[in-house]
Structure formats: C-alpha cells, structure tokens
Amino acid sequence: MKHLSPSLALLLVLTAPVATKAQIPAPPDQAPTSTPQWTEVFPGTNPSARASHTMVYDAAAGKVVMFAGLGPNGYLSGTFLWNGHNWTQEQPKTHPSPRYWHSMAYDGGAKNVVLFGGFDTQFNVLNDTWVWNGSNWKQEHPKTVPGARYSAAMAYDSSDNKVVMFSGFHQSPNGAGNDTWVWNGSNWTQEHPSHAPSARYGHTMAYDTAKGDVVLFGGVTETNQVLGDTWVWNGSNWTQKQPAHSPSARSFHAMAYDSVRGKVVLFGGGDAFGNMLNDTWVWNGSDWTQEPNTGQPSPRNSHAIAYDSSHGELVLFGGENNQGYFSDTFVWK
C-alpha cells in the first residue's frame, strides 16, 4: 500500500471528561469570564514538528498525553506529556511502534489511555491495542479485535463507560468503512446500530458531557468526497443532526470538549478544494456557532487538540500545511 499524506489526500479531493448523563459535570478550575481566544505559548521544551499524531487528556495523571505522528524526518514514536506549562518527553520501557494516523482516547473506567491501529514504517495498516497507565505502555491482547485501520476516530462515552471507535480506512477490504466498535477496558465488541454515518476516514469525534452523546463531524470518503455532516452516538445508535449552521465540509480537523463552556470545539482541517482552514466552531448540542478569529493558529490539518481539565483550557499542537510541519503550541481559553 502506498503512503499517502493527509495533505496529499486533501489536494487530491479535494477525545473526554468522565461523567454520566445523570451527573452534573465537575466544576471547572474557573468559569469563563470573556470571549475565548487562541494564544500561542512558548514552552521551554518542545516536541519536534509533526502531524497525524494523537493527544488526549489523562484525567488520572492530570496531564495531556501526545504520541507519535509523522514529521519531516519520518515516523515518530515519542510519548510527551503537557503539564500546563511545558512538554516533557517520557522514556517508557515499552511503547507502540512508530506510527501515524492512529486513534487514541482516555478510558475513564479503566483510568488509562487507549491507542489503536495506525500506519507503520513498513506501510502496514495496524490493529494493535495499547494502554498508557501514566508511566508505561502495555500492549493488550483482546479476544476480539477490529480490523486493521488508520484515520479512525475514538472517544470515551462516559454514559456507557466505553470507548467508541468509528470507521477509518481499512486494510481489508481496502477502503473506508462505517463500522462501530466499543472497548470495555479488556475487549472490543462490534456494535450493529440501525443507523450509522457513511463510510469515511479523517473525521473526528468528541464526547459531549452536557448532552451525554458522542459527536462526530466530517471526514472524507474513499472516493475523495469531503463531508460536512454532524452525527451523535447515544450508546446504541447514530442519529444525524440537521443544525441551522455548520462548519464547511472538511477532513483531518481536530475536536475536543471544553468543559468550562460545556461545548465541543472544532478547529481547522482541509476543505474540498485543497485549502487549509483555521476557523474555530463550537457545538452546543443542537447547533454550530463560529467563534471570532482571535489569535488563532495558522491554517493547517492533521493537528491534535485535547482539553486540559487541570488548567481549564484546550491545548493544540502541530499539524501541517502544504509548506511543511508545525511544532507550535496554542491554548484556547
């Protein structure tokens, strides 16, 4: 299988806090006092430039975890932690192989970070499952395993205490799928909902704590159609939303839930015409609203964002555009 970078794919076409539906979200560090904006920060230690990496907030450790990706010099495998002020590279005894386009989410029930699949240095599509316990990676060997894939999306469904994974580009059969899987902390189970989004990859998902649903947006089909639809997963079925307003169709964007404001935040990605975007949108459970363009990162795709609950802010790192890879860190608060 030939390697195809997210930027090239776009030119051709052109992850959540733990809560249940009955719970009230935990109070944030501070209530919002003004219109949020993006601010670039300059930590003393910085990971190398990269794209197609993953970031999630490890609630047990109180830090954002970033793993792997693709950089100007090839595949990466490093594990970095963000403590609200600086990045620190960890040195675990074991870790997943170098890869990109993998998927990752925080499992609130097991209190660890779960990683699945991706694309490795030998151009293999992977279906391995790993967990991060705050200091080391451990490979899991579940009885049931989803098919090998890359560019799937994962989010932790607090209502059902399961990690949800949807779609991605499959190794066999070769093409995008529209299958839904859940991880219960020890095994994968395929769900068979009566309705589901169409097959896609390069989409994003985040758990909307206020509504108790997993939100999915966008992506691209194997026939290079860029999508702009919004779906929610309620634990047993997918429902397409018909909001009055919506971000434009896009893929390889990033999304996370902001528990301070009780909204899902979406940033950037690439559109159907090969343009990189840097707009910010928020989902309130029924409609999308575009945020003012204040201090936002430059246009990009294949970046990663995570909500840092310890500091009440979204963290963004890296990504790429048609000129290269980024190694910048932004916060949104």
Q: What is the pLDDT of residue 26?
A: 40
Q: What is the pLDDT of residue 20?
A: 34
Q: What is the pLDDT of residues 18-47, one digit of tens each?
A: 333 333 334 444 555 578 999 999 999 999
Average pLDDT over every residue of 149-158: 98
For residue 297, pLDDT over 60 is answered with yes
Average pLDDT over every residue of 102-123: 97
Give the residue, 301 or 33, on which the prediction is more confident.
Answer: 301
Give the residue, 229 or 9, on which the prediction is more confident.
Answer: 229
Average pLDDT over every residue of 86-94: 98
Pair of tokens at residue 170: 């499959």
Q: How far apart are CA 120 and CA 171, in angstroms?
A: 13
Percent of the chain whose pLDDT exceeds 90: 87
Q: What is the pLDDT of residue 31?
A: 52
Average pLDDT over every residue of 5-25: 37
Q: What is the pLDDT of residue 171?
A: 86
For residue 85, pLDDT over 90 is answered with yes
For residue 11, pLDDT over 50 is answered with no
What average pLDDT does the chain have? 91
Q: What is the pLDDT of residue 293?
A: 85
Q: What is the pLDDT of residue 33?
A: 52
Q: What is the pLDDT of residue 267?
A: 98
Q: What is the pLDDT of residues 172-211, one digit of tens each?
A: 887 899 999 999 999 999 999 999 999 999 999 999 999 9
Q: How many CB atoms lie within 10 A of CB 260?
A: 19
Each domain of the chain, given as residue ranges in start order, spans 6-332
Range in 26-35, 143-152, 306-315 with the lowest mean pLDDT: 26-35
Q: What is the pLDDT of residue 173?
A: 80
CATH topology of domain 6-332: Neuraminidase (2.120.10)
Average pLDDT over every residue of 271-292: 97
For residue 162, pLDDT over 60 is answered with yes
Q: What is the pLDDT of residue 10?
A: 37
